[in-house]
Chains A and B, each alone.
Chain A
Amino acid sequence: MSDAVNVVTLSLRAPLSEPLDVEGITADRVAGLSEREIAGLPVRLGAREARLGDFFDVRGGRSARMRVEGALAQVNGLGAGMAGGELVIDGDAGHRVAAGMTGGEIIVMGSAGAEVAARARRGLVVVAGDAGADAARAMIAGTLVVFGRTGARSGRGSRRGSIVALGGIDVPVAYWCACTFDPPHVRLMLTYLRRRYGLKVDERMVSGRYRRYCGDAGNPGRGEILEWVE
């Protein structure tokens, strides 16, 4: 994200007192819009309709690389429905980050609320901190990487999605351990995240061993949790 010229940056002006829903404001959507058009995109503050520009300063346009800054813990739906491009959330995020995502990469530099990557179909979602409850719920495919603790009931109802849990997870009862192994794609992904986004990745995670759990029992059992065990 060093090339600031080609990044759409949304900066939250002030902390919010109630939840703001920004579902649908995604990197692929802003790729075709000017700065002014982006500021005019609809959002919801509680039950009230509003415009993105009412809360965020918008810099840049016509780029599929997006960055969101500020005290975002009350901002829900960041990257929800995203179909492509790159979104970096520079801090903690609210609920439903990347929900229903169908492509691209979303990096949360802090922690994420509940239902991160829920119902995601494709794409890569990374949470540098903790992920709330119901992460990757009903995930169809794609990958969620959580460096901190992964919340309760994560992966429930997942069909083919993958959770890479690096900071601990209570594996749902509907998952069973298949084996412990060195997944080469995790090594690739973590190396990529380190190089591309500057994420601090413990070398023991890169070269480590992972327990592979398969579930969810209500589905064909192709959902996956990879739990780092060093």
Chain B
Amino acid sequence: MNIRGVHIEDTFAEGFGMAAARVVITATNLKWARIAALKLTGFATSVIACKCEAAIERELGPDETPDARPGVAALMFAIGTENLNRRLVERIGQAVLTCPTTSCFDGLPEAPDRVPAGRALRAFGDKFQISKVVGGQRYWRVPVMEGEFLLQESFGVQKRAVGGGNFLILGEDAPSALAAAEAAVAAMDGMPGIILPFPGGVVRSGSKVGSRGYKSMTASTNDAYCPTLRLTTDSALAEGVNSVLEIVIDGLDAHAISRAMRAGIDAACCPGVRAIAAGNYGGNLGTFHFHLRQIMEGVS
């Protein structure tokens, strides 16, 4: 398969089942909602070291938020529901509770599975907190020095979320690979139900499981895709590929990831890109396989 001169390799991305929550942060204006959301989702690129993966999904207008203020929706992914609840408690408590003017709401109200992150955080109010039920949902008014922090008691959990959707951009040089990655990120930006958890949506240091030289390392550099190692390892790179960047996608379901990959790969097929590949572990570790050529069917 070839899209505008870019070879699409016959391979697949391997994704894993995760639990996910959508956190809606509102504030007096978008500036403060974004500030809280950026802190909430900071240092959350990979579950390997960050315990969760998180990023801003999209900005929300006043007509889309429970309190008619500007807001931001962030998605948070973790391995297992209880683990996700702990991450929500830690991060909302440190990043949203602390941020001026914000309120914090559940963004998956229809989800039957729920975690009581807000109930845990209410204790910050030291028994001065007040509970209110509106529309069948319980909220906590937590007194803070600014006034009050409003927080929903429970957050919906999508238990069939998927982490680890990905594709690799094999570029002729670093500027070409970066330009293609930026185009891919722009194409996927704001798509519903997905996030790109790495810096700017792009990973330059794709990893393989384990390490050839250090037993303690759970992940190490993906040497097969490092251009400087093309002649010293079992390289996957053809001659002429001098820089590789990866896009990692987490989604509320597999369909959201497929849709985003299709848009992102299409945008990444631009001058200076030799091929699009994907990261997998031979298909033995992850439940979800995203075959590039199936996803890109019909794109020319």
Interface residue ranges, A against B (CB under 8 Å): 103, 105, 122-124, 143, 160, 162, 179, 181-185, 187-189, 191-192, 196, 206, 224
Chain A residues lying within 8 Å of B147, measured Cβ to Cβ, are: 179, 181-184
Among A122, A184, A189, chain B packs the most CB atoms within 10 A around the CB of: A184
Chain A residues lying within 8 Å of B139, measured Cβ to Cβ, are: 185, 188
- A184 contacts B150, C-beta separation under 8 Å: yes
Within 45-81 of B, Cβ neighbours of A (below 8 Å) are at 66-69
Name the contact of B132 in the complex, choosing from A103, A189, A196 (C-beta under 8 A).
Answer: A189
Beta-carbon contacts of B128-164 to A below 8 Å, as 1s and 0s? 0010111100010100000111100000000000000
Interface assignment of B280: CB less than 8 Å from any CB of chain A:
no
Chain B residues lying within 8 Å of A179, measured Cβ to Cβ, are: 147
Name the contact of B148 in the complex, choosing from A122, A124, A162, A185 (C-beta under 8 A).
Answer: A185
Give A195's nearest chain B residue, CB to CB.
Answer: B68
Interface assignment of B103: CB less than 8 Å from any CB of chain A:
yes
Give B139's nearest chain A residue, CB to CB.
Answer: A185
Give B26's nearest chain A residue, CB to CB.
Answer: A184
- A187 contacts B69, C-beta separation under 8 Å: yes
- A181 contacts B150, C-beta separation under 8 Å: no
Give B152's nearest chain A residue, CB to CB.
Answer: A188
Chain B residues lying within 8 Å of A105, measured Cβ to Cβ, are: 135
The 7 closest A-B pairs by CB, nearest first: A184-B150, A181-B147, A191-B68, A188-B67, A187-B67, A184-B103, A185-B132
A182 to B147, CA, bound (A): 7
Known: A185-B148, A192-B66. A123 touches B135 (CB 8 A): no
Chain B residues lying within 8 Å of A103, measured Cβ to Cβ, are: 133
Give B132's nearest chain A residue, CB to CB.
Answer: A185
- A196 contacts B148, C-beta separation under 8 Å: no
Among B130, B134, B141, B147, chain A packs the most CB atoms within 10 A around the CB of: B134
Chain A residues lying within 8 Å of B103, measured Cβ to Cβ, are: 184, 188
Name the contact of B141 in the complex, choosing from A185, A191, A196 (C-beta under 8 A).
Answer: A185
Give B151's nearest chain A residue, CB to CB.
Answer: A184
A3 to B43, CA, bound (A): 46
User: In the assembled complex, how far is the CB of residue A100 from the closest CB belonging to chain B, in whole angstroms?
Assistant: 17
A105 to B136, CA, bound (A): 9
Query: What's the interface size class on B, roughly?
Result: 10 to 19
Among A105, A160, A183, A191, chain B packs the most CB atoms within 10 A around the CB of: A191
Identify 12 residue pairs between A and B in the complex whose beta-carbon atoms are under 8 Å apart, listed by A's number.
A124-B133, A162-B130, A184-B141, A184-B147, A185-B132, A185-B139, A187-B68, A188-B66, A188-B67, A188-B103, A191-B67, A192-B66
Chain A residues lying within 8 Å of B66, measured Cβ to Cβ, are: 188, 191-192
Known: A181-B148, A187-B67, A188-B66. 5 other contacts (CB 8 A): A105-B135, A182-B147, A183-B147, A187-B69, A191-B67
Among A182, A187, A188, A192, chain B packs the most CB atoms within 10 A around the CB of: A188
Chain A residues lying within 8 Å of B148, measured Cβ to Cβ, are: 181, 183-185
- A185 contacts B133, C-beta separation under 8 Å: no
Give B102's nearest chain A residue, CB to CB.
Answer: A184
A25 to B103, CA, bound (A): 37
User: In the assembled complex, how far is the CB of residue A149 from the closest CB belonging to chain B, in whole angstroms?
Assistant: 23
Chain B residues lying within 8 Å of A192, measured Cβ to Cβ, are: 66, 134-135
User: In the assembled complex, how far is the CB of residue A181 from the closest CB belonging to chain B, in whole angstroms?
Assistant: 4
Chain B residues lying within 8 Å of A188, measured Cβ to Cβ, are: 66-67, 103, 134, 139, 150
- A196 contacts B68, C-beta separation under 8 Å: no
Chain A residues lying within 8 Å of B69, measured Cβ to Cβ, are: 187
Name the contact of B135 in the complex, choosing from A160, A182, A196 (C-beta under 8 A).
Answer: A196
- A206 contacts B132, C-beta separation under 8 Å: no
Within 140-196 of B, Cβ neighbours of A (below 8 Å) are at 141, 147-150
User: In the assembled complex, how far is the CB of residue B121 from the closest CB belonging to chain A, in whole angstroms?
Assistant: 15
Known: A123-B133, A188-B103, A192-B134. A206 touches B68 (CB 8 A): yes
Give B147's nearest chain A residue, CB to CB.
Answer: A181
- B67 contacts A143, C-beta separation under 8 Å: no
A139 to B135, CA, bound (A): 20
User: In the assembled complex, how far is the CB of residue A36 from the closest CB belonging to chain B, in whole angstroms?
Assistant: 29
